[in-house]
Amino acid sequence: MKKLLLSIAAAVTMISASAVAQTDPASAEPDPSVMSDAYYQIWNDDVQKAIDERIEKYRKADATVELTDVKPGTDVQVEQLTHAFFFGANIYNFNQLGTTERNEKYKALYGTLFNSATIPFYWKSFEMEPGKPRFKTEERDTEEFWNHVENPKKQPHWRRPATDEVVEFCKSKGIRMHGHTIIWGDRNDGRPIWLFDYASNPFPEEREVLLKAYKQIYNQPGTMSPEEIYKLGPNYFDSMNELYWNRIRMLAEHYKGTLDSWDVVNESSVDYHGNAVTGDKVTKSPCYRHSMPGDYTYNSFKNAQEVFPESVQLVINDYANNQNYVNQVKDLIAHGAKIDIVGSQMHMVKPQNALDIAAGKVVSSVGGVKMTPEGIMSTMKLLASNGRPIHISEVTVPMPSEDEKGKAVQAIIARDLYRMWFSVPEIMGITLWSVVDGCGWPGESRFGIFTRDMEPKPFYFALNKLINEEWKTNFVQKADAENVTLQFRGFKGKYKATWTDKNGQTQTKEFTVK
């Protein structure tokens, strides 16, 4: 058998035009002069070289593929179909963008740019009425509804589509699915409005006692122990525990192993104080300004691992990214909690953040990660010390202004951050949190890779160039034998080889580089 040795450096790269964006990508290249010399001193040539070396080492692998019945002289085409790494985004604006054209452009991103989607399960909007989860699409979830609603942001289910239709869409596109989030203490989005009344029924007197005691509980730290708080409303807290358990069980029974992973608990490290299993009936949460069920993080994971299939990855997610978060994860694992992935949020929410970065200043994300090569690497090593892979779970990069300079600043910052994250071996995926301008959380207007009218920004072209061009191994090489061994080093993922056999028929073979 004669071997065909393929040199990737000499291979012909095959780049297909994107159906999503009609703008000439060349015209969208950001002007590097919008960044200061101080910025380029931070992201200097040595840093970029080290990033490239890590990408080559950790994101590629050597491959050997045997092909038979190849017509000598024919072109063997090798195409990378998917990435092993997850490049994701939340899919919160499914059918909500106001026109069919916008919605189709939005959907086209999933399966082309993004191979992973985060699906919303925020309790407040998912179960707006007790016992009525929004799995199925109703009239208020249809494209027709959103195309005619006057002010979509005032709707209680804005950015919260019914989930079954989204799940079926992702399945049809081969998209990895991630559920966010099952348990979250936040009163604005993590807990439904009815929860307090419903949980206390038929114990309204306990609820009233607790409401009166809250001022003392939270404004005078240490005056009441968890046991004393529990005694103010034992029936109330016991019913809350049951509701939490019912929610976990309901989602697991409905989807079983359909979704690949779930954020079981979101942003709970603020309630961790050195012991994941205190035995207290109540967790006195200083952040959420109310009493959560006792040991809710630990109990949520133990309950989730009881009802979800083993194949489903259970995730803890937080913006904290500090030693306390690391200690919490280690402690939960030591107590038997099944934590498969650690989520790390990377939000920069102020336009001034982008201007400061462009000026060469050191800016921290929400939670305190310094957004420099050294700061990111240090934080990732810290989070990885618990022995679990890291999901960069929520990314926002602000655009400081609507002009071309502002667009270029956003794109350059995002490109360098994605390159850095992609180079860190402990990171398994990156999820963008704002796809479309003005469609993020309240007050956000310019975080997206597309404008509100679904026109691509330089941010989009920067990501597309990385994900679909620079980080994909596609090439063509002529065969000079009937039996061929392809040997190459390529980015990890699924591939397809296509060639013509000696009878003139097209043949294909799929394989994985890992």
Q: Is the pLDDT of residue 500 over 70?
A: yes
The residue ranking higher by pLDDT, 443 or 45, is 45
The residue ranking higher by pLDDT, 206 or 371, is 371
What are 503's two structure tokens? 């009878």
pLDDT of 221 reads 65
Q: What's the whole-number mean pLDDT along residues 147-172?
A: 97
Could you tell me the sign of the dihedral formed by the alpha carbons of 140, 141, 147, 149, in that order? positive
Lowest mean pLDDT, pick from 63-77, 283-297, 394-408, 425-439: 283-297
Q: What's the whole-number mean pLDDT along residues 299-307?
A: 98
CA dihedral 29, 33, 38, 40 (to 10 degrees): 40
| CATH H-level, domain 10-67+78-475: superfamily | Glycosidases (3.20.20.80)
What are 223's two structure tokens? 């005056």
Q: Is the pLDDT of residue 321 over 90?
A: yes
Q: How confident is the model at residue 196 (pLDDT cuts 50, 70, 90)?
A: confident
pLDDT of 202 reads 74
* E strand or H helix at 306: helix 296-307
pLDDT of 14 reads 34
Rounded Cα gap, residues 348 and 337, in angstroms: 31
Domain boundaries of the chain, sorted by first residue? 10-67+78-475
Task: Find out whether 203 and 242 touch, Cβ atoms under 8 Å.
Answer: no
What are 107's two structure tokens? 């959907």
The residue with tokens 């122990």 is: 225
Rounded Cα gap, residues 211 and 226, in angstroms: 15
Q: Global pTM?
A: 0.94
Q: What is the 3-state secondary structure (H, E, C) of 179-246?
A: EECCEECCCCCCCCCCHHHHHHCCCHHHHHHHHHHHHHHHHCCCCCCHHHHHHHCHHHHHHHHHHHHH
Q: Is the pLDDT of residue 158 over 80?
A: yes
pLDDT of 458 reads 97
One-letter amino acid of 378: S
Determine the angle formed by the axes of helices 234-255 and 296-307, rounding to 10 degrees. Answer: 30
pLDDT of 289 reads 64
Q: What is the mean pLDDT of the chain?
A: 92
Rounded Cα gap, residues 75 and 12, in angstroms: 11
CB-based contacts of 123: which residues, under 8 Å, 6+ apart? 184, 189, 190, 191, 192, 195, 247
Q: Is the pLDDT of residue 293 over 50?
A: yes
What are 100's two structure tokens? 């069919």
- The 10s digit of each residue's pLDDT in 376-394 is 999 999 999 999 999 999 9
Query: Phi and psi dihedrals of 480, rounded to 5?
Result: -120, 25
Rounded Cα gap, residues 116 and 467, in angstroms: 13
Rounded Cα gap, residues 415 and 412, in angstroms: 5
pLDDT of 28 reads 73
What are 481's two structure tokens? 């034998």
* E strand or H helix at 396: strand 390-396
Percentage with pLDDT > 90 across the chain: 80
- The 10s digit of each residue's pLDDT in 220-259 is 766 788 898 899 889 988 988 999 999 999 999 999 999 9
Task: Find out whether 9 and 60 touch, Cβ atoms under 8 Å.
Answer: no
Strands (E) in 2-85, as ranges, are 4-5, 60-67, 75-80
Q: How confident is the model at residue 447 (pLDDT cuts 50, 70, 90)?
A: very high
Annotate 366-394 with b (16+ C-beta within 10 A) or e (fewer): bbebebbbebbeebbeebbebebbbbbbb
Task: Find out whether 314 and 305 touch, Cβ atoms under 8 Å.
Answer: yes
Counting other chains too, the contacts that 233-236 makes at CB distance below 8 Å and 24 or more residues apart are 233/200, 233/203, 233/206, 233/207, 233/209, 234/206, 234/281, 235/200, 235/203, 235/206, 236/199, 236/200, 236/203, 236/206, 236/207, 236/210
Q: Is the pLDDT of residue 297 over 90?
A: yes
Q: How confident is the model at residue 104 (pLDDT cuts 50, 70, 90)?
A: very high
One-letter amino acid of 115: N
What does DSSP say about strands 493-500 and 75-80: parallel, antiparallel, or unpaired?
antiparallel
Q: How confident is the model at residue 288 (pLDDT cuts 50, 70, 90)?
A: confident
Rounded Cα gap, residues 422 and 120, in angstroms: 25
